[in-house]
Amino acid sequence: MTSKVTYKTDLEQVDWQAMKSTLAGDEFDNGRSPSQLQASFQNSYATVIAYADAQIIGTARVLSDGVCNAYIVDVWTFTPYRRQGIASAMMQLLLSGLEGQHVYLFTDDSVEFYEKLGFEVQAIGLGKVVGQWLQNKNSQQ
Ligand SMILES: CC(C)(COP(=O)(O)OP(=O)(O)OC[C@H]1O[C@@H](n2cnc3c(N)ncnc32)[C@H](O)[C@@H]1OP(=O)(O)O)[C@@H](O)C(=O)NCCC(=O)NCCS
């Protein structure tokens, strides 16, 4: 793909329905509605959305306390745009705002991608869904 890629770190005029549709079509949909996507991005410490012209083709966001701990989620590049450095650029934008913090993330199968950015595998991660997945005050929006 040869369109010009731009990176936005604000959430002005994001088409959440379009984000949802592209994620679903790219098999990277974890069930959030457009308004749940909006809430999760708005409640993040920092976000990056990559665009090819007006089309959303990448996302990444970070949860952080602004002091010592950060957690990166929703790192995704639309399949036709992969292996062009887009996710690396989004990660660098997020990491540049996390000086002095320990940054953690979980991945099933993208270890090599993160190692290239300087992440090291840590032996044990634990997780739990509290109650039912996606059922909370943002469910009805
Ligand atoms: C993982 C993902 C975000 C990478 O996005 P991308 O924009 O293609 O990444 P980049 O082009 O910045 O890749 C940088 C480097 O990471 C490594 N890398 C990226 N994808 C890789 C893959 N599928 N297999 C092995 N190495 C990979 C390569 O070393 C690559 O450099 P190279 O292209 O010069 O060889 C993308 O494949 C994706 O969206 N996957 C599905 C969602 C996902 O798994 N996200 C991570 C969840 S935690």
pLDDT recorded at residue 102:
97
Cα 110 to middle of ligand 1, angstroms: 7
pLDDT recorded at residue 6:
98
Cα 93 to middle of ligand 1, angstroms: 16
pLDDT recorded at residue 123:
82
Residue 122: inside a domain:
no
pLDDT recorded at residue 1:
60
pLDDT recorded at residue 88:
98
CATH of the domain at 112: 3.40.630.30
Residue 111: inside a domain:
yes
Closest CA to ligand 1's atom 10: 85
For the CA of 106, the nearest atom of ligand 1: 48
Residue 124: inside a domain:
no
Residue 40: inside a domain:
yes
Closest CA to ligand 1's atom 42: 76
Residue 19: inside a domain:
yes
Residue 48: inside a domain:
yes
pLDDT recorded at residue 50:
98
The full DSSP string for 10-70 is: S-TT--HHHHHHHHHHTT---S--HHHHHHHHHTSSEEEEEEETTEEEEEEEEEE-SSSEE
Cα 92 to middle of ligand 1, angstroms: 14
Counting the structural domains of the chain, the total is 1
d(CA 81, CA 50): 10
| pTM above threshold 0.75 | yes
Residue 121: inside a domain:
no
Residue 103: inside a domain:
yes
Q: In terms of residue numbers, what domain contains 70?
A: 5-116
d(CA 20, CA 42): 15
Closest CA to ligand 1's atom 4: 87
Per-residue pLDDT 10s for the chain (141 aa) are: 667 999 999 999 999 999 999 999 999 999 999 999 999 999 999 999 999 999 999 999 999 999 999 999 999 999 999 999 999 999 999 999 999 999 999 998 999 999 999 999 998 899 999 999 999 998 875
